[in-house]
Amino acid sequence: MNRIKIFILCFFVPLFAFSQVNNEDKSFELSKNLEIFSAVYRALHTTYVDDIQSGDLVKTAIDAMLAKLDPYTNFFPEADMEDVKMQLLGQYGGIGSLIHQKGDKVYISEPFEGLPAYEAGLKAGDVILEINGMSAKGKTSNQVTEILRGQAGSDISIKVERDGKSLEMKFKRSEIKLPNVPYAGVVGNNIGYIKLNEFTQEAGNHVAEAFRNLKSKNNINGLIIDLRGNGGGLLNEAVNIVNIFVEKGQLIVSTKGKLKERDQNFKTQMQPLDMNIPIIVLVDNYSASASEIVAGSLQDLDRAVIMGQRTFGKGLVQNIIPLLYNTQMKVTVSKYYIPSGRCIQAIDYSHRNSAGKAEKIPDSLRTAFKTKGGRIVYDGLGIEPDVSLESKWASNIAIALITKYLAFDYATEFVKKHPQIASAKDFIVTDEIYNDFLNFLKDKDYSYKTETERDIEDLKKQAEEEKFDKATIDEIERLKQKVIEDKSDDLMKFKDDIKNILLAEIIVRYYNQKGRIEALLPYDDEVKQAINLLQDKDRYNKILKP
């Protein structure tokens, strides 16, 4: 017995000693490198030939250091506190409007309903001339955004140009909080639909309230939760949303990091509102973080069918750490794991290739897990939908009309001629309106190059360099002209897509964000497929079985 005790003691003492030495080595490395950095900075400050901007230099050094880790670990100087607030809470001090830049002018894109810009009478299409007496000419949209933001309650004066006239509006900034749920309504035959844009504070309450209203007023028998394009937000709000549909006390997500004492389990805290209603969660490649917690946990618990495209794959958790002089740092502190035990982080930032680039986790290293009912699911690479839908990409002509703001400009002119239109759900872009839009485009530049054109140009260049005969090069040129001729029909070929773009731009001028979503739902193929699946109970139930 004594020999056993001596052996155990001898076995553990070297481990303890090794641990102490290892910690001492790490502390020495930390101190050494901090001293080196300080010495470099002081030497530059005292001996560099030109004056240096200390704050900019240190910020550059910090940003370069953090870039070696992952894209979510960031440093925020005091001047960026409004951006931090916007990221975490979805709120900021400002006027409540989107803006965009075209040429050397900055325009009001969309004043949000009920917020200062909207209430003051600013309209989409207004050109910003001055802000508090300061000219906006030549400034970028980012620069104008910085000037527009400010302390809630502070005065602001904005001079704009509208229809060739100069107008000045004076009002107060306010605390801008964007809605988590911009729209909730009924689609198809008694199917509820909730669009969730963000996971900021109260997101769980907003979804619960929308769901209660849908149930009480419409007797819905199925639900679509739309998380497409939702980049995430607060983890606890994701748990609260799942809690609406699963029992109290259910583990939804665990976080595990370097400091074991900070590992946490997040369970549902309240009684659910409905544990039986069939649910489809719509996701895409831009559904990330908290969106993936909702979709992944509902999938792991066999509580919903996930439909769409594979999600982004962000399984990392960040905390905000206050630093000196009112600066802050957002740091990745752990990974999160959903109920099956899997982590859906797609990129391994701890290992990089020879070019220094972090790569996606290969299929060979992905591990199989099981849902509550026994279905096979995998870790890494985001949430794979139960029903995969092919991504619908915008046509080149549609992208050109959007990025050159031609659809936007047409909507501005349309509103001047039409003070009123039909309701959001009844208004359509008729062929008459579309032909009017084509006339509007006649003297506008909406040119663009397709990938095919670029490939043909590269082929022609290569053929010339390799001294192919003139007949071959002429044939390549004829092919290029054929592609250009074919492209000229794009306005008719992609007429339906362009009509939807015009519909969105026009409707938002009259009925705001809510109206835009409502108007476009009937044309949304993925929503249509979700409705069809919810109405096919046998197929829905079969998907959720092993």
List the catalytic residues. Answer: 289, 300, 314
| Residue type present at position 217 | K
Give the residue from 233, 391, 383 showing the smallest Cα distance to 311: 383
Helix, strand, coil abundance in the chain, percent, nearest 5: 45, 20, 35
Spatial separation of the C-alpha atoms in residues 162 and 168, rounded to whole Å: 10
Burial 86-115 (b: 16+ CB within 10 A, else e): bbebbbbbbbbbebebeeebbbbbbbbbeb
Spatial separation of the C-alpha atoms in residues 381 and 529, rounded to whole Å: 24
Q: Which two tokens stand for residue 19?
A: 């641990």
Task: Evaluate whether 200 touches 178 at the Cβ level (below 8 Å).
Answer: yes
Spatial separation of the C-alpha atoms in residues 371 and 369, rounded to whole Å: 7
- In SS3 terms, 477-517 reads as HHHHHHHHHHHCCHHHHCHHHHHHHHHHHHHHHHHHHHHHH
Spatial separation of the C-alpha atoms in residues 12 and 15, rounded to whole Å: 5
| Residue type present at position 27 | S
- What region does 186 belong to: left with phi over 0, alpha with psi -120 to 50, or beta? beta
Phi then psi dihedrals of residue 381, to 5 deg: 60, 30
Spatial separation of the C-alpha atoms in residues 368 and 380, rounded to whole Å: 10
Residue whose structure tokens are 């306005």: 491
Spatial separation of the C-alpha atoms in residues 526 and 29, rounded to whole Å: 54
**Which residues have a Cβ under 8 Å from the Cβ of 512 and sit 6 or more positions away?**
112, 113
Give the residue from 419, 340, 373, 329 showing the smallest Cα distance to 76: 329
Please count the other Cβ atoms lying within 10 Å of the Cβ belonging to residue 510: 19
Contacts 24+ apart (CB under 8 A), 350-354: none
Q: What is the largest CA-CA distance in the chain?
A: 98
Residue whose structure tokens are 């939807």: 500
Spatial separation of the C-alpha atoms in residues 477 and 120, rounded to whole Å: 56
Spatial separation of the C-alpha atoms in residues 323 and 418, rounded to whole Å: 54
